[in-house]
Amino acid sequence: MDRTFAARLGALRKSTEQSQKDAAAALGVSQALLSHYERGIRECGLGFVTRAAAHYNVTCDYLLGTSSLGCGFSEGAFCPKDIPEDNKLDVLTIFRCLTVLRENLQNQPSSCRDEALRYFALTTYRFLVSAINAGDLPRSWIGERAPIENFMFLEYLGGLENVLLDSIERGPQRIHDSKAPLCIKTLANEVEKYTAMQIEQVFNPLSE
């Protein structure tokens, strides 16, 4: 087992100001065995990992060293600083990007905030519609009168998105230069790479 487990196990006990004897009793092991776990001398079973995670109110991933977040998604989503997980594009990274954008919008005029909110809501709604039409979500999740099977309705949603984006782009420019958060850089890099790859696939056959 990775040394991270031993280090975090000991650090968590000390942060809660528990003696090794009390922690061992709560975790159902002897003090000597817990000492071995904390020093990395012996490896424990998965049962102990789950008990320790529950006892210290952290995730198993955190204990095992596969995550830097003690409390999982909810903690990471609103952490204001860069975290190691920002290096990869996943749901948490995207959610953190939205959180960053939300914080930046707080300093904008109310009209700009409203337009941005409508845009994000509309984008999410379009995703819901696509998932429902694909059979991945129940139809009852949105209004029963929404004509989601109608092609023109879907095109209209896309048009509204473009109108809102155009309005946002024409808004007051008050942004000062600053270092981009890691989650934003990761999302931008991954989307730009994906876009470039798709463009290359379209135009390469035309040049042959």
Residue with tokens 């463009």, as numbered in its chain: 199
Burial category of 112 from C-beta neighbours within 10 Å (exposed 0-12, middle 13-18, buried 19 and up): middle
Alpha-carbon distance 93 to 36, whole Å?
36
CA distances from 187 to 5, 32, 35, 79 (A): 30, 47, 42, 17
Structure tokens at 44: 């424990």
Could you write out the three-class secondary structure of 3-37?
Answer: HHHHHHHHHHHHHCCCCHHHHHHHHCCCHHHHHHH
Residue with tokens 């904008």, as numbered in its chain: 108
Alpha-carbon distance 68 to 65, whole Å?
7
- State the pLDDT at residue 15: 87
Q: Beta-carbon neighbour count of residue 189 at 10 Å?
A: 11
pLDDT tens for the chain, residues 1 to 208: 568 889 989 988 998 889 999 999 999 999 999 999 999 999 998 889 989 988 888 888 788 887 766 555 455 555 667 777 778 888 778 888 888 887 777 777 777 788 888 888 999 999 999 999 999 999 999 999 999 989 899 899 989 988 888 887 776 666 667 788 888 899 999 999 999 998 888 887 666 6
- State the pLDDT at residue 207: 62
- State the pLDDT at residue 73: 47
